Copies of this chain bind each other. A is one copy, B any other.
């Protein structure tokens, strides 16, 4: 066997470069050469690890989704072993808002991918899976006895609403310059309202 490298790591490195380019210039700025330059490699190497541009973008979407998942689990673990469900919900949803520069970057990337997925059913499927998973998890948190209570349609609807709210507010922050503190205030107020209505 000749020289062996870690393909997955190479792809990860290229994907990260793609996410940086996407965050600063949108998907329109994503070209093989541009991404390669950002990653500090040649465009031939990019081509060696991805059979086509579409494959590269698809891989980067999965990488971005993994990054979000990591952020979520970090929030979960940061709250300790037996956290207050209310703090869990608040922490999870607040983590979706672009409050610092890194999250603003991620939010711009996510926004670009949403727009991308709006005309590519294949890409939409990937996003749908992530979203459905997060939504059902959140619905569980909203149930009265923490994560073990009965999950009804009302909880599902509330989870859908809260997720949609966090997403919409985040997008307004990065695209229309809505002040982040207004987004946080609106989100927390809605969480209060929702919890009060579900756990009288």
Contacts and interface: CB of A to CB of B under 8 A. Distances in A.
Interface string A162-183: 0111111101101111100011
A127 interface: yes
Contacts of A178: 128, 131, 160
Contacts of A116: 26
B108 A111 contact: no
Given A26-B115, A27-B28, A119-B108, A131 B161 contact: no
A56 to B, nearest CB: 15
Interface in A70-89: none
Interface in A108-161: 108, 111-112, 114-119, 124-125, 127-128, 131, 157-158, 160-161
Point out which of A111, A128, A160, A187 has the most chain B C-beta atoms below 10 A from its C-beta.
A160
Contacts of A55: none
A109 to B, nearest CB: 9
A90 interface: no
A193 interface: yes
Given A27-B28, A119-B108, A124-B177, A165 B161 contact: yes
Contact of A28 (B28, B165, B172): B28
Nearest to A104: B118
B177 A157 contact: no
A157 to B, nearest CB: 5
Given A108-B119, A114-B111, A119-B108, A171 B160 contact: no
Contacts of A194: 193
A32 to B, nearest CB: 15
A192 to B, nearest CB: 9
Pick from A119, A169, A178, A187 the residue with the most CB of B within 10 Å.
A119
